[in-house]
Structure 1
Amino acid sequence: MKHILHPLKFKPILKNKIWGGEKLIQKFNKKSDSKQLGESWEVSTVPGDISIVENGELQGKSLQELLEEHASDLLGEKNYERFGNNFPLLIKFIDAKQDLSIQLHPDDALAKKRHNSFGKTEMWYVMQADDDANLIVGFNQKTDKETYLKHLEDNTLTKILNFDSVKEGDTYFIEAGRVHAIGAGVLLAEIQQTSDVTYRVYDWDRVDDEGNERELHNDIAIDAFKFDMEDDFKIAYKKQENVSNPMVSCPFFTTNYIEINSEIVKKNDKDSFLIYMCVDGEVEVLTDNRTDRIAKGETLLIPAVIKDFKLKTKGAKLLEVYV
């Protein structure tokens, strides 16, 4: 039987990390007893971590099954032509109790060649940050391969990295090839290409419970660096209420910011699915004869075939994502 697609809420895929904490549990009500919960994967088709629907008639179905059964009705026609049965995005919430490793990701060409994977261009929206919390994005000076390798060898890499203090609402666009790290005390939403390929270049000399350092990838990472990038990674955006405010638009995804305090009518004319990440408050999504709700720290995917719906709330902030 071919089900009719409806808005899809998925069971979070929870990831313990050496640097994780408890904010995803305390602030977003994720179900875990872990003291080191680092990530909640909200929408994923990464092999081994495929999202399962937890709402409506399609409950229990995997996102991969739905892609294969519904094709362009789910993705949109142009996206289906481009990606086939591969979902192009991985959607996460991340809690860094400790600093993440300094890292970067390969672009599509390098990732395809080495890992048969998409590359990883991503963006961050800061949902909460402790006092003095920061992110590392890019370099604080003009840097080339030789300069970088000298600092890496001398264990002085942090001297040439750009540290930004952050607060709620700060937004960063991290293109493949740009060095970066999430700092301790930062809780954020992450939108990225479907890829789990990370090149770790420095991990603060950290060891696990058994005294082992995590693997570094400096031998292959050097080819992934793009040292000539502009310092255009921090995103300025408007916050006009009850409309979609552009944040990031790139070949891999578009993200808008919506701050709502009433009911608004939405029309999907994008030939794409829409993903809503609730980053504050809660909102009802009304389609045909059903209502779905998402609260802060939850995500909803609206298939491309659903063209008309309403967003209704007394107060919410959303990230609206499509390809």
Structure 2
Amino acid sequence: MMNRLYPLLFKPILKERIWGGTKLKTYLNKPISSEITGESWEISTVPNDLSVVNNGALKGKNINELIELFSKDFLGDSVIKRFGNDFPLLFKFIDAKEDLSIQLHPNDFLAKKRHNSFGKTEMWYVMQADSNSRLVVGFKENTTKQEYLHHLENKTLVSILNEVPVKKGDVFFLETGTIHAIGAGVVIAEIQQTSDVTYRIYDWDRVDANGKGRELHTDLALEAITFEKTNAAIAFQAIENTSNQVVDCPYFKTNIIPLDGIYNWSKKQDAFSVFMCTEGELDLLFEEDCFRLKAGNTILIPAVIDNLVFKGNATLLEISI
């Protein structure tokens, strides 16, 4: 029956990265086939990386086809008013076996002007972290363009950056312009604007088999960097069987649901919702259907669906617009 919307699972889009590993398979049961898989794109409308439905009557249809078929029933009126038929978010799981490059993302204005893209505001939820893992988030202190360039040229940039130790359950909210890097040994759930625009400024002097380093974007980055110190760590409550606010920004809202038993969910606005399961397992009940979710599953709830029941023992990130 093609005219009925239901909770949607998508086939993960797996990305090999120089810094990737195998935890997406061992922790999250993704069907990876290489030792350097760094990312699982869970829901994407990035060109050439369109998510495809993996369950039910709509299996095989891509997300843009769903938007064309169902429009406001899929996206919701409030999303269409702001973004038209553009799906505004990208959802990922990331496994950093090695340090990612030190990078940043442009804001909406620069991204539109230079790349005809959204900017890239994002948040990280730490799902697993080896001992002594850390993230790079912003500068230790306010700095200047001149000081930054001096350290960049002298390969001492890391000395002025803020390296933060991390553990499971930590959250960081990264506004555009914030210099950042995910450190080795960390698995992250990432929620971001739909954008694949990244300015890489330092890559730990890594080279490939031919002795060639990855491209850097020094000049593009200069106009986009926030040189003020930022505090990206987010404190939040985590009351069981309740949807607790974690991040509320102009681009997305993320809550956390520590599930132990039953949680009755009802929609708060006319927009789609997405749930990312970061640990445990549960049953999602919708009308006569039951969807079994485990750590590493991401499910999209079309705007037309108002009520669900979650039953199990798990941690869920709830994302909406």
TM-score calculated relative to the size of structure 1: 0.98
Choose 209-218 or 111-120, whichever is displaced more.
Answer: 209-218
Choose 149-158 or 107-116, whichever is displaced more.
Answer: 149-158
Structure 2: gaps spanning 5 or more residues = none
Aligned to 1:201: 201
Q: CA deviation at 1:211?
A: 2.0
> Which of 297, 314, 317 is the aligned partner of 1:316?
314
2-structure distance, mates of 1:86, 1:232: 31
The C-alpha deviation readout for 1:135-188, integer Å capped at 9, x for no partner, is 000011111211111111111100100000100001000011100000000111
Aligned to 1:237: 236
Aligned residue pairs, count: 321
**Percent sequence identity over matched residues?**
55
The C-alpha deviation readout for 1:77-101, integer Å capped at 9, x for no partner, is 0101211221100000000000000
Contact 2:2 2:57 in 1 (8 A): no
Aligned to 1:106: 106
Aligned to 1:146, what secondary structure does the other structure show? helix
Q: CA deviation at 1:2?
A: 5.0
Structure 1: gaps spanning 5 or more residues = none
Asked if 1:278 is matched to 2:277, the reply is yes
Aligned to 1:180: 180
Aligned to 1:77: 77
2-structure distance, mates of 1:105, 1:263: 39
Aligned to 1:293: 292
2-structure distance, mates of 1:2, 1:293: 22
2-structure distance, mates of 1:56, 1:292: 11
Q: Which amino acid aligns with 1:290?
A: D
Q: CA deviation at 1:62?
A: 0.4
Contact 2:125 2:189 in 1 (8 A): yes
Choose 145-154 or 49-58, whichever is displaced more.
Answer: 145-154
Aligned to 2:40, what secondary structure does the other structure show? strand
Asked if 1:15 is matched to 2:15, the reply is yes
Aligned to 1:28, what secondary structure does the other structure show? coil
1-structure distance, mates of 2:294, 2:281: 4
2-structure distance, mates of 1:32, 1:266: 33
**What is the aligned-residue RMSD (CA, Å)?**
1.0
Aligned to 1:125, what secondary structure does the other structure show? strand
Contact 1:2 1:69 in 2 (8 A): no
Q: Which amino acid aligns with 1:190?
A: E
Q: Which amino acid aligns with 2:262?
A: E
Q: Which amino acid aligns with 2:268?
A: D
Q: Which amino acid aligns with 1:193?
A: Q
Q: CA deviation at 1:232?
A: 2.6
Aligned to 1:223: 223
2-structure distance, mates of 1:238, 1:280: 17
Asked if 1:247 is matched to 2:246, the reply is yes
2-structure distance, mates of 1:72, 1:129: 39
Contact 2:2 2:58 in 1 (8 A): no
2-structure distance, mates of 1:249, 1:54: 30
Instruction: Report runs of 4+ in structure 1 exceeding 6 Å deviation.
Output: none
Q: CA deviation at 1:210?
A: 2.5
Q: Which amino acid aligns with 1:316?
A: A
Q: Which amino acid aligns with 2:216?
A: L
Aligned to 2:66: 66
1-structure distance, mates of 2:286, 2:209: 49
1-structure distance, mates of 2:53, 2:98: 31
Contact 2:24 2:32 in 1 (8 A): no
Q: Which amino acid aligns with 2:118?
A: F
Aligned to 2:146, what secondary structure does the other structure show? helix
Asked if 1:151 is matched to 2:154, the reply is no
1-structure distance, mates of 2:137, 2:220: 20
Aligned to 2:164, what secondary structure does the other structure show? strand
The C-alpha deviation readout for 1:51-78, integer Å capped at 9, x for no partner, is 0000011111101100111111111101
Aligned to 1:103, what secondary structure does the other structure show? strand
2-structure distance, mates of 1:208, 1:190: 27
Contact 2:10 2:52 in 1 (8 A): yes
Q: Which amino acid aligns with 1:261?
A: D
TM-score calculated relative to the size of structure 2: 0.98
Q: Which amino acid aligns with 1:256?
A: N
Contact 1:28 1:296 in 2 (8 A): yes
Contact 1:3 1:58 in 2 (8 A): no
The C-alpha deviation readout for 1:40-59, integer Å capped at 9, x for no partner, is 00000000000000001111
